[in-house]
Amino acid sequence: MKFSICTLLVPLCYMLSDPVTGSVKEGLARPFILESIEEAKRLVNDAYLYSRQESLARVRLDEFIKPTDKLRLMKQPSRRTREVVRAADYLEQTLRIITEKTHHAHKRAINATALITPEELATIVRLTGCAAQVRPPSCRTTPLINKYRTATGVCNNLKNPTFGASNTPLVRWLPAIYEDGISQPNGWNPGKLYNGVLLPLVRLVSNRILRTKDADVKGDSENTHLVTFFGQWNDHDLSFTPMSPSIRSYSNGIECDKSCQQSEPCFPIQIPSGDPRLPAGPESCLPVFRSAPACGSGNGAFVFGGVPMQREQINSLTSFLDVGQVYGSEEVQARDLRDLSNDLGHLLVNSQFQDNGRELLPFSKVVSNMCATRQRILNNTGLQEVPCFVAGDARVDENSALTSLHTLFLREHNRLARVLRLLNPKWSSETLYQEARKILGAYHQIIVFRDYLPHIVGTEAMKKELGHYTGYDPNVVPTIANVFATAAFRFAHLTIQPLVFRLDENFQNHPTFPSVPLFEAFFAPWRVIFEGGIDPLIRGLIGRPAKLNMQDHMLVDALRERLFAFTSHIAMDLASLNMQRSRDHGLQGYAAWRKFCGLSVPQNEADLGHVLNNTDLAHRLLVLYGTPANIDVWLGGVAEPFVPGGRVGPLFSCLIATQFKKIRQGDRLWWENQGVFTRRQRVSLRSVSLARIICENTGIKRVPADPFRFTSTTADFIDCNDILPMDLTPWMEPGEHNSYGDETASQENDLQENQV
């Protein structure tokens, strides 16, 4: 799966190049081609500038930002991702403009291939910037390529350097289904029939199938709330699909959040009649912006007669379990998150506040009131507000529980760097940083596979797909699949409690900082600063159960009716967003994915009732969808009963296990692969414990041995002093004075190595 110009745009294989520079000569393009490129650039640049100005106007310090703005700003491309998206928009709009001009000149629809030469097309692709975005990088000059990961993930696979790299397209395990065959989302055309019936409005499905009252929520008897938020934290290591930076249509100028009209990139969620919260009608909708396209996909290839390329979406993160949510997925971003004021190899920490003497995440330098929620929630205009936190992933402030995990692992990196410096006083700041990053990455891989995934995919999938490590396979594509990012790994939305729990030292509701409604924990870094730090939040994650996903009680109101808002009228709906995003990405329906996984494919209500073990739910689904084939894959997946030992059904167990198997097999720098760590280091890494990481980096004194396993009593919790720390002496360079461990520890480690 190499991403080159020839694979994305077939005619470019025949382009005429400059013999010296290798680039296409601009003189080969006729004036109207170059004029169209410049017109497209002005159009896109003006739209981006307008959107930025509007955003700044809306986030002035004397205004409160709307939930639609929060969703859009949180999903905005930044840094190099913005360059990638901008180039794709330049290309897309250039082709649209040229097509319109040729149609107008000939008074009829005409295939532009007859008028545009391959050389001119190559000029278009180069001048819009798309050629640079799809050109594979050289790995020859990358330093220490076999020792440390690049921030972007490039050159992990030496033959295919973009496998798993950030800012590359998500992969397809099944072909996309678009209404025009190229890029129009499912449900774009109101009269379009699917298997003889119309697709239901996603908000109608959300209302009738997923609605849950907080009073009906049941706790999970086996899993803690940490399972839910660690899953979210893990997801933010693997995928981030940016939205279009423009808030208005390129073709007609309508503003996506001021109109319910569908026009690229506006794909609003229409409100059905009888909605419990929102008025129905042609001017009633929840604004949604389409995910940004990848260069050379969609009409970017089709218009000029190349092989029709369906629209693909971008993953701005690496596909590897590399803790990118801590370190960032771009080189400049990774550098900006480091403390370069000294030689300690640390990540930046907050310079204004501490958490009982412990480190906090640094503040964002972007001026915005995105996280200025304290005065409004507490109804006190005299309270101090603080900026958003910043981390390797832009969603760090999405909720306070997620923020606490970001903080925990930031502290662990700096702790590791301090210990490594004691072991190796001569190590440079760069070596300390890279070695601590490498160890933390291994921690994450071990905890995900050994401790987290068994709670999710069940015993059979763990045994068949995710058991023994078989080694690195350069032919395996680790790149995140569209169906995984857009549907399967969003299962945990149904395990979120309506409260963010905060507990005291006795694991009781905190008397000073009690548990808060989830919707009051959105974009609230001030709760960490001013309300007890992360200790009460971490205790809440390990001391309270996750919500149990039940077929008649799926998604709590905080996510369905109050997402990113304080007033329910203007809030977003996460269930509707998930289904609308699946349609935006052209994902095939539930039945097709069941077939992909080798599972039975329900054909009718009786079959579906058997698969779901629920005839009533099957009936209600088919009243909406008409046939199992039409059911949105996310909804079908979360509606299935659990596999033994897991918390997803057979479909999502298959898709999640398949993805993680590819991530592990396709990672040249996986912690178990020969040469990544020494044998002694691997032995030591196997002893890593999430419980110990919590003990090392908080004031919590007692923890469950398995923080993912829920117990209704703290009697089985263990004292932090009884959990052995991981031995880091295998990282000590020969000849260095060991100021951290002792000779006994080294002897014990040698004994362990001999037993392996």
Active-site residue set: 236
Q: Which secondary structure element, helix H or strand E, spans residue 332, and what is its range?
A: helix 331-336
How far apart CA 453 and CA 439 sit, in angstroms, is: 20
How far apart CA 692 and CA 349 sit, in angstroms, is: 22
How far apart CA 201 and CA 665 sit, in angstroms, is: 39
Q: What is the DSSP code string of 474-502? A: TTS--PPBHHHHHTGGGGGGGG--SEE--
Cβ burial, residue 551 (10 Å; 0-12/13-18/19+): middle
Rg (CA), the chain: 26
Measured CA angle at 695 (ends 711, 405), to 5 deg: 80
Provide the pairing of β-strand 555-556 with 545-547. unpaired
How far apart CA 217 and CA 26 sit, in angstroms, is: 64
Please state whether 550 falls in left (phi above 0), alpha (psi between -120 and 50) or beta.
beta
Residue 140 has φ and ψ, to the nearest 5°, of -70, -30
Residues 488, 652: contact at Cβ < 8 Å?
yes
Rounded to 10 deg, the angle between the 225-238 and 535-543 helix axes is 110
Angstrom CA distances, 378 to 94, 526, 527, stand at: 50, 12, 11
Report residue 170 as tokens: 């998500």
How far apart CA 682 and CA 685 sit, in angstroms, is: 5
Q: Which secondary structure element, helix H or strand E, spans residue 269, and what is its range?
A: strand 269-270
| DSSP tag of 648 | S
Count CB neighbours of 276 within 10 A.
9
List % helix, strand, coil for the chain (3-state, nearest 5): 45, 10, 45
Tell me the HSE value of 342 on the side-chain side, using a 13 A CA sphere: 11
Cβ burial, residue 712 (10 Å; 0-12/13-18/19+): exposed
- The four Cα atoms 657, 659, 662, 664 give a dihedral, to 10 degrees, of -70
Which residues have C-beta within 8 Å of that of residue 426, sequence separation ≥ 6? 733, 736
How large is the greatest C-alpha to C-alpha distance in the chain, in angstroms? 87
Residue with token string 């205790």: 539
| DSSP tag of 371 | T
Q: Taking Cα atoms as reference points, which of 621, 630, 643 lies closest to residue 552?
A: 621
Q: Taking Cα atoms as reference points, which of 574, 577, 565 lies closest to residue 69?
A: 565
Which residues have C-beta within 8 Å of that of residue 428, sequence separation ≥ 6? 343
- Number of residues that this document lists for the chain: 756
Residues 233, 410: contact at Cβ < 8 Å?
no
Which residues have C-beta within 8 Å of that of residue 450, sequence separation ≥ 6? none
How far apart CA 11 and CA 29 sit, in angstroms, is: 15
The dihedral through the CA atoms of 236, 240, 246, 248 has a sign that is: negative
